[in-house]
């Protein structure tokens, strides 16, 4: 290996292949790996640099290196597989770099994430109080790993952990740390939590970044704890007091009160400070390491988690070149499909030309957590597969450099090998769908407040799960991007989007005025940007419905349907069975119904619908059709008392409108989406799906007929379509971890194809089969015999 300098930056350039004497079981993998990296031997002649450099790369636009017409593409746009060994303090004494180099090769990664500094340093740092790892013993472990990776042609993300420090650091600079109202420092275990407004972030962390770049030249930096103290605690240190006073001319709020002006400003002030830290760290890393030596932090897959950490996803993505996604496992309520939704949501902010590697735990993460035990292989595989389907790139993650449970070493290689083979179909593409589901972090904060699960996440989950179960592709759409993205969608869905700004409301109205269809639920548009109640829905003219009483403040609405347990309530379906209207009905005779709306398909044999929430009276406009009305709660126990006290009201639960342009609006004051998100009741799902289909005129680009729970994704790429089908039907669909996968099929698939393109060949990337397309009036039709975990169909000329 030699070092060359371009633009005063020292870079490692491999001049001979790395050691290939690790383990006979990976000889073939090593040979394949060396073949993939052979272009690096021409590095000097091609003026290509490693470590923070751009690459001139092969011709295939979907190749590992992302080459397009000899375009130079930076490392953070081309590396699509990552690996991380999260080093513990005891690892330096026994870290076997040779073995891990063989594992890098076997898993076909293009880059690694290596612990560098922050809480502890894994190199001989000269910065005061930058404590070295317990067993480092003078070893330069980060330097060794960085050099080894560069010799192997890999990029290096130097991992930081910058929000805590040990007691000796606290004793030296107590004013750099967070404190509560009484002056007591906040702690996480034995560590003291640093303050986001202190010199720790302004000076100490930049000095660590500078030292690491000057010594080792990593490609960039990532940090999983960069945003400091979360929203659940308020820091009253002098740094925070001074900064907040200078910004807003008032004292830091004494308690969390969403109706207090100071608290609201404190929320915004915290968000702004995290963006300042993001920009500061990037200025430092780029000024010293070069234009592509970026600082990328880490971010989570949960919007509520981002809110609690003051990480504004929209503003971060507006500045980010890559999102390093720290979302290692599913939860039981949301399932594997949440990973695909997260990928599409983040791409909607970041852009589809950029990458989103995700930390995917090979250990048992989630419920329960065992850091040193292997996650069941199928649980890990399904999480990775669903992420890939949503546009995420795989990044295996181990805690510790030595494991007695060696089963985890066998999990990543098969799927990363498949990913390398097929990656040209998995990047540089754009989603195809015409349904957008609207969200915003502002709604999470100021409408969700301290009840985000009930007010925000359950309605969102209900709508998105209904779409997935119905096999209707969709995209998350940020409320600020409605205007930008409106032309992509024939239907926008507002799932209890209680907080909407005036601009967002205006964007929805323009969208509908232009012929777009709309579905809204719950209290959508009823509150302004701070969560203060409006006198009526801001979208009341579209809903055809109006509030008749005073809208309570969220803080006063203690018994609102969003935060209470399920009530024993129903909705009455209209029109009713005639026997109910005209008199008693002989149950031995078939019932006679009035003509019912297509939205009520499948409910022909019932006049009532299980609800579970509460409703308030509404005034409706002329021309608004009411299909369901509220039946108030009555006892469940004892059974003798379980009869309707008030069997009928005129309180609407479902309203439909057809507008002059032929477009449609559906409004569900009854929050069926929240109920479905909570209880998974099929009636709730079927009604939501019916409403979505009616509002969209049943106009979707994909139809999939067959058994099971299947998540469907469509992408366009040059002159081909790429379809992902993920089989969510397994032994642990709603309870992690999954052990066995259950094959399902066959499936009859119909996909709409663009005009003027004659698709006639279908390649299945998982089974390896080739199919002939059946083209029929603009639709491509084919069959897939069976799905185990997933299949990817590439349809091309």
Contact 492, 436 (CB under 8 A): yes
393 membership: H or E segment, kind and range: strand 393-399
Per-residue pLDDT, averaged over 698-720, amounts to 96
pLDDT at 760: 79
Confidence of residue 123 (pLDDT cuts 50, 70, 90): very high
Each residue's pLDDT tens digit, 525-558: 999 999 999 999 999 999 999 999 999 999 886 5
Q: Note the pTM of the prediction, 2 decimals.
A: 0.91
Q: What percent of the chain has pLDDT over 70?
A: 88
What is the per-residue pLDDT for 589? 60
Query: Higher confidence at residue 33 or residue 640?
Result: 640
pLDDT the model gives residue 454: 94
Tell me the mean pLDDT in the region 457-483.
98
Angle at 110 between CA 89 and CA 275, to 5 degrees: 70
pLDDT over 70 (residue 447)? yes
Burial degree of 625 (CB within 10 A; 0-12, 13-18, 19+): middle
**How many Å apart are CA 100 and CA 105, to the nearest integer?**
9
At 655, phi and psi to the nearest 5?
-125, 140
Query: Concatenated DSSP letters for 426-489?
Result: TSS-EE--SEEEEE-HHHIIIIITT-HIIIIIHHHHHHHHHHHHTT---EEEEGGGHHHHGGG-
Average pLDDT for 470-493: 97
pLDDT in tens, 734-778: 888 999 999 999 999 999 998 767 787 999 999 999 998 898 888
Predicted confidence (pLDDT) at residue 36 exceeds the cutoff of 80: no
More confident residue, 454 or 591: 454
Residue 623 exposed, middle or buried by CB count within 10 Å (0-12, 13-18, 19+): exposed
Contact 566, 679 (CB under 8 A): yes
Look up residue 295 and give its two tokens: 């600082």
Q: Is the pLDDT of residue 581 over 60?
A: no
d(CA 155, CA 219) in angstroms, rounded, equals 6
The predicted structure's pLDDT at residue 263? 98
Determine which of 58-67, 426-435, 579-588, 620-629 has the lowest per-residue pLDDT on average: 58-67
634 is written with which tokens?
A: 């009555």
CB half-sphere exposure, 486, CA atoms < 13 A: 19
Q: What is the pLDDT of residues 383-418, one digit of tens each?
A: 999 999 999 999 999 999 999 999 999 999 999 999
Identify any residues that bridge with 564 across adjacent strands, giving them in sequence order. Answer: none
> What pLDDT was estimated at residue 587?
56
Strands ordered across the beta sheet of 357-361: 220-223, 155-161, 111-118, 82-86, 393-399, 357-361
What is the model's pLDDT at position 734?
Answer: 85
Q: Are strands 111-118 and 82-86 parallel, antiparallel or unpaired?
A: parallel
Per-residue model confidence as pLDDT tens digits over 131-143: 999 999 999 999 9
Phi, psi (degrees; rounded to nearest 5) at 396: -75, 150
Computed over every residue of the chain, the mean pLDDT equals 89
Query: How many residues are recorded in the chain?
Result: 797
Residue 62 has pLDDT above 50, yes or no: no
pLDDT tens digits along 508-527 = 999 999 999 999 999 999 99
pLDDT at 367: 84
CA distances 215 to 218, 314, 320, Å, are: 9, 34, 25
Which residue carries 């590396």 as its tokens? 79
DSSP state of 131: P
Tokens found for residue 676: 């479905």
Enumerate residues 6+ apart whose C-beta is below 8 A from 793.
722, 723, 725, 749, 762, 763, 764, 765, 782, 784
Cis before 746? omega within 30: yes
Assess contact for 637 and 729: CB atoms under 8 A: no
The per-residue pLDDT for range 343-371, each reduced to its tens digit, is: 999 999 999 999 999 999 999 998 899 99
Confidence check: pLDDT of 196 > 80: yes
Q: Is the pLDDT of residue 24 over 60?
A: no
Of residues 726 and 582, more confidently modeled? 726
């Amino acid at each position: 290996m030699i070092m060359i300098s371009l633009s005063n930056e020292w870079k490692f350039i491999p001049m001979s292949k790395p050691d290939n004497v690790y383990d006979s079981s990976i000889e073939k993998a090593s040979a394949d790996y060396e073949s993939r990296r052979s272009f690096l031997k021409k590095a000097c002649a091609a003026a290509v640099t490693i470590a923070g450099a751009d690459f001139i790369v092969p011709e295939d636009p979907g190749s590992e290196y992302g080459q397009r017409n000899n375009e130079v593409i930076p490392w953070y746009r081309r590396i699509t597989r990552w690996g991380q060994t999260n080093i513990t303090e005891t690892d330096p004494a026994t870290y076997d770099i040779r073995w891990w180099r063989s594992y890098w090769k076997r898993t076909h990664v293009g880059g690694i994430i290596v612990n560098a500094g922050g809480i502890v340093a894994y190199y001989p740092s000269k910065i005061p109080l930058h404590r070295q790892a317990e067993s480092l013993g003078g070893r330069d472990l980060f330097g060794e790993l960085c050099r080894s990776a560069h010799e192997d042609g890999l990029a290096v993300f130097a991992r930081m952990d910058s929000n805590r420090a040990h007691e000796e650091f606290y004793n030296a600079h107590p004013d750099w740390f967070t404190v509560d109202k009484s002056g007591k420092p906040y702690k996480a275990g034995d560590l003291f939590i640093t303050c986001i407004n202190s010199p720790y972030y302004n000076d100490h962390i930049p000095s660590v970044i500078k030292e690491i770049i000057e010594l080792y030249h990593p490609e960039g930096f990532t940090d999983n704890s960069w945003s400091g103290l979360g929203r659940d605690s308020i820091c009253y240190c002098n740094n925070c007091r001074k900064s907040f006073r200078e910004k807003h001319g008032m004292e830091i709020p004494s308690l969390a009160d969403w109706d207090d002006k100071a608290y609201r400003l404190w929320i915004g002030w915290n968000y702004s400070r995290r963006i300042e830290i993001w920009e500061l760290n990037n200025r430092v890393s780029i000024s010293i390491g070069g234009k592509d030596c970026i600082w990328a932090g880490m971010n989570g897959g949960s919007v509520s988690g981002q809110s609690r950490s003051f990480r504004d996803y929209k503003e971060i993505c507006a500045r980010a070149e890559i999102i390093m996604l720290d979302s290692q496992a599913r939860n039981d309520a949301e399932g594997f499909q949440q990973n695909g939704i997260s990928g599409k949501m983040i791409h909607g902010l970041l852009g589809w030309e950029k990458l989103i590697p995700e930390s995917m735990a090979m250990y048992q993460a989630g419920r329960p957590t065992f850091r040193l035990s292997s996650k069941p292989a199928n649980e890990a595989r399904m999480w990775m597969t669903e992420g890939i389907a949503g546009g995420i790139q795989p990044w295996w993650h181990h805690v510790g450099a030595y494991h007695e449970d060696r089963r985890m070493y066998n999990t990543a290689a098969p799927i990363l090998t498949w990913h390398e083979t097929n990656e040209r179909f998995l990047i540089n593409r754009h989603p195809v769908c015409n349904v957008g589901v609207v969200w915003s972090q502002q709604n999470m904060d100021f409408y969700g407040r301290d009840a985000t699960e009930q007010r925000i996440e359950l309605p969102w989950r209900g709508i998105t799960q209904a779409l997935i179960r119905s096999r209707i592709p969709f995209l998350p759409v940020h409320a600020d991007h409605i205007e930008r993205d409106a032309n992509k969608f024939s239907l926008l869905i507002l799932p209890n989007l209680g907080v909407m700004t005036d601009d967002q409301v205006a964007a929805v109205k323009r969208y509908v005025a232009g012929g777009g269809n709309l579905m809204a639920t719950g209290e959508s548009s009823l509150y302004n940007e701070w969560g203060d109640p409006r006198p009526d829905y801001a979208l009341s003219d579209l809903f055809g419905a109006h509030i008749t009483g005073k809208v309570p403040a969220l803080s006063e609405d203690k018994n609102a349907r969003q935060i209470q347990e399920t009530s024993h309530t129903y909705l009455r379906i209209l029109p009713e069975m005639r026997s109910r209207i005209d008199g008693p009905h002989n149950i031995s005779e078939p019932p006679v119904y009035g003509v019912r709306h297509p939205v009520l398909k499948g409910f022909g044999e019932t006049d009532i619908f299980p609800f579970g929430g509460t409703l308030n009276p509404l005034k409706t406009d002329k021309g608004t059709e009411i299909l369901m009305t509220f039946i108030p709660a009555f006892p469940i126990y004892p059974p003798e008392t379980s009869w309707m006290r008030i069997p009928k009201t005129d309180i609407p639960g479902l309203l439909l409108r057809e507008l002059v342009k032929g477009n449609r609006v559906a409004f569900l004051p009854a929050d069926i989406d929240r109920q479905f998100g909570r209880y998974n009741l099929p009636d709730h799902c079927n009604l939501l799906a019916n409403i979505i289909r009616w509002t969209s005129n049943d106009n979707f680009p994909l139809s999939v007929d067959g058994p099971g729970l299947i998540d469907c994704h469509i992408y366009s790429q040059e002159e081909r379509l790429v379809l992902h089908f993920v089989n969510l039907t397994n032994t642990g669909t709603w309870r992690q971890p999954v052990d066995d996968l259950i094959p399902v099929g066959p499936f009859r698939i119909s996909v709409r194809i663009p005009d003027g393109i004659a698709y006639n060949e279908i390649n299945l990337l998982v089974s390896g089969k080739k199919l002939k397309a059946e083209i029929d009036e603009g639709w491509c039709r084919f069959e897939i015999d069976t799905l185990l975990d997933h299949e990817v169909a590439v349809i091309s000329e």
